[in-house]
Amino acid sequence: MVTIEDKPGFEKLHLINQPDEEHRSMIFKLADQMLTTKKFKDFFNKNVAAL
């Protein structure tokens, strides 16, 4: 197993592009979902705090 946490950005992209199309799609969907969830939580917390 390869850990990409300590790799530079260009190397992370290279490692992400190695899996087949199905796995690459799954990786991007997971990353997108994580970012969307974080943005929603941040938005929700900011707006609840403003009430």
Q: Per residue in 1-51, pLDDT tens? A: 556 566 677 777 777 777 788 888 888 899 899 989 999 999 888 888 777
Note whether residue 3 is domain-resident.
no
Note whether residue 29 is domain-resident.
yes
Note whether residue 46 is domain-resident.
yes
Q: What does the DSSP assignment read for 1-51?
A: ----TTS-HHHHHHHHTSS-HHHHHHHHHHHHHHHHHHHHHHHHHHHHHH-
Q: Please give the residue range of the domain that contains residue 34.
A: 9-50
pLDDT at residue 13 in the model: 75
Q: How many folded domains does the chain comprise?
A: 1
pLDDT at residue 3 in the model: 63
pLDDT at residue 24 in the model: 80
pLDDT at residue 37 in the model: 92
pLDDT at residue 5 in the model: 66
Note whether residue 1 is domain-resident.
no
